[in-house]
């Protein structure tokens, strides 16, 4: 094979890539050295703004295969027949830390999945927990500010973390998940994934159902204690990335089985919990898991920056048969995720290979902007409607319409029979074994005992006591012991 020629960005051959041009031997550099200036300027711009949340991530390609008939619930083409396979890309992530953070930390994990379907890309953006800390997106920036590095100290502050939670009792359920035994997954392969939000499915007859997604790991659940995690971080801060990469390279392809909970739309109004509250689950006794298919990861990205860092997921990327619900947090994310990518990657980020449709072609009238590569020819119009056979609407709604009523304004979510902030957290606590309860209490006390204000500690303990009196008492005793 002949040696390839090194060139500049414009394609001109490079004569010397070892020495900069100077004014004489040992003299100052010359502004006319185009190759030097191009290399330095290009290097200065190698990093794009990292994600504010979910900055640290890993990804892989794979496929989703339908194993069970769900056509009675949705008309989505990629779910239309048993045995059908759809190419996918997944991005796992931690939430709070920066791009250079460690993998084995106590933090929720992002579980973002892109289906390259024949009807366009469908993005399912979830976590490794079925619930979240808040139920209204107006609180999201404040929540993240409380969890990220303090503007003055430059580090995550227990005072900020627990002060926000003290004033947000709806966080009690997710805190109980996060500080329990599954709070630090041993790897991305050994954790479940959840859509977390409630979504809507619509079948061919136009019937609507509300659904929740559950991806159950086929590798089995494996988690780390705080001590094991600290040791692992010291040995390999990239432990989850290392594990995922090496497993797939060895041909040990991780997989998950997808189940859904299905609620007929008519049952939502009278359900005992608000079915659109992200801090709540639907008990399986009410809506059992129904199997849909399996997700298999079988190929690593060739370039982490191009395919993981530039991967853009947005929950408003729906396909016919799938749509949103009145879930407030989901509604906020329908805007926020896409807007974050327009800021980070530019308005044309959907043209990047990892984000572009693979089983169909995007056809619309979007033009121009930074890095525009698909602006059409002289024969293509950039407006609609037109008389030139340009892309036209289908008049077929992606999902069933949602009924609305009442007055505009800032409203709290409607209360259902069991809609308090503590009931499900208490149910989760009472499901735990004695050993699990002890570890949960120790994990919470380890963080809460570092808070400087007694009133913040007391407010948080009151939340745990409201979930279960024993829960609150044990946390209070553990915190007191650590502060003596």
Q: Which residues are catalytic?
A: 54, 127
Give the DSSP H or E segment for 436.
Answer: helix 434-448
CA distance 298 to 408: 48
CA distance 213 to 45: 39
CA distance 341 to 343: 5
Sole residue written with tokens 């119009």? 381
Orientation of helix 423-431 relative to helix 454-467, angle to 10°: 70
Task: Please give the sequence-ordered ranges of beta strands (E in DSSP) within 128-180, or none if there are none.
Answer: none
Peptide bond into 254 cis (omega under 30): no
CA distance 124 to 316: 9
CA distance 343 to 281: 33
Tokens of 242: 């290392």
- CB atoms closer than 10 angstroms to residue 267: 13
CA distance 26 to 3: 31
Q: Is 91 exposed, middle or buried (0-12, 13-18, 19+ CB in 10 A)?
A: buried
**DSSP state, residue 354:** T
Q: Is residue 362 a contact partner of residue 376, using CB atoms and an 8 Å limit?
A: no
Tokens of 301: 């990205």
Q: Which of 222, 213, 237, 233 is nearest to 99 (CA)?
A: 237
**DSSP state, residue 45:** T
> 3-state DSSP call for residue 331?
helix
Task: Please give the sequence-ordered ranges of beta strands (E in DSSP) within 157-315, or none if there are none.
Answer: 193-194, 199-202, 208-217, 255-264, 290-299
Left (φ > 0), alpha (ψ -120 to 50) or beta: where does 85 sit? beta
∠ Cα 203 208 210 (to 5°): 115
Orientation of helix 158-166 relative to helix 434-448, angle to 10°: 110
């Amino acid at each position: 094979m002949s040696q390839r020629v090194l060139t500049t960005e414009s394609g001109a051959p490079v004569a010397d890539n070892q020495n900069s041009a100077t004014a004489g031997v040992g003299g100052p550099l010359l502004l006319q050295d185009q190759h030097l200036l191009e290399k330095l300027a290009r290097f200065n711009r190698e990093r794009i703004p990292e994600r504010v949340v979910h900055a640290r991530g890993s990804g892989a390609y794979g496929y989703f295969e339908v194993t069970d008939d769900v056509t009675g619930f949705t008309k989505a083409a990629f779910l239309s027949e048993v045995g059908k396979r759809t190419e996918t890309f997944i991005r796992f992530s931690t939430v709070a830390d920066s791009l250079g953070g460690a993998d084995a930390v106590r933090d929720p994990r992002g579980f973002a999945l892109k289906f390259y379907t024949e009807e366009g890309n469908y993005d399912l953006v979830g976590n490794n927990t079925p619930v979240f800390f808040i139920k209204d997106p107006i609180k999201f920036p404040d929540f993240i500010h409380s969890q990220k590095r303090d503007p003055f100290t430059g580090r995550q502050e227990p005072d900020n973390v627990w002060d926000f939670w003290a004033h947000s009792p709806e966080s009690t359920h997710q805190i109980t998940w996060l500080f329990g035994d599954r709070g630090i997954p041993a790897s991305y392969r050994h954790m479940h994934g959840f859509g977390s939000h409630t979504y809507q499915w619509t079948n061919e007859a136009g019937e609507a159902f509300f659904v929740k997604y559950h991806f159950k790991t086929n590798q089995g659940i494996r988690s780390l204690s705080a001590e094991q995690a600290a040791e692992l971080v010291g040995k390999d801060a990239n432990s989850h990335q290392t594990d995922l990469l090496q497993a797939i390279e060895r041909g040990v392809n991780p997989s998950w089985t997808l189940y859904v909970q299905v609620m007929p739309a008519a049952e939502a109004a009278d359900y005992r919990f608000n079915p659109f509250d992200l801090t709540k689950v639907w008990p399986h006794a009410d809506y059992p898991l129904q199997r849909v298919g399996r997700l298999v990861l079988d190929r690593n990205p060739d370039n982490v920056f191009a395919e993981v860092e530039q991967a853009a997921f947005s929950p408003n990327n729906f396909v016919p048969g799938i749509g949103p619900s009145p879930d407030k947090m989901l509604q906020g994310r329908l805007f926020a995720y896409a807007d974050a990518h327009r800021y980070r990657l530019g308005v044309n980020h959907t043209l990047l290979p990892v984000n572009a449709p693979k089983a169909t072609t995007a056809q619309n009238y979007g033009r121009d902007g930074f890095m525009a590569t698909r602006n059409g020819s002289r024969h293509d119009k950039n407006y609609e409607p037109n008389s030139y056979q340009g892309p036209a609407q289908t008049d077929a709604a992606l999902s069933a319409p949602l009924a609305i009523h009442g007055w505009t304004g800032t409203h709290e979510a409607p209360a259902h029979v069991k809609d308090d902030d503590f009931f499900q957290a208490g149910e989760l606590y009472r499901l735990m074994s004695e050993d699990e309860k002890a570890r949960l209490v120790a994990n919470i006390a380890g963080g809460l005992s570092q808070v400087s204000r007694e009133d913040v500690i007391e407010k948080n303990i009151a939340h745990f006591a409201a979930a279960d009196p024993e829960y609150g008492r044990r946390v209070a005793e553990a915190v007191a012991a650590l502060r003596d």
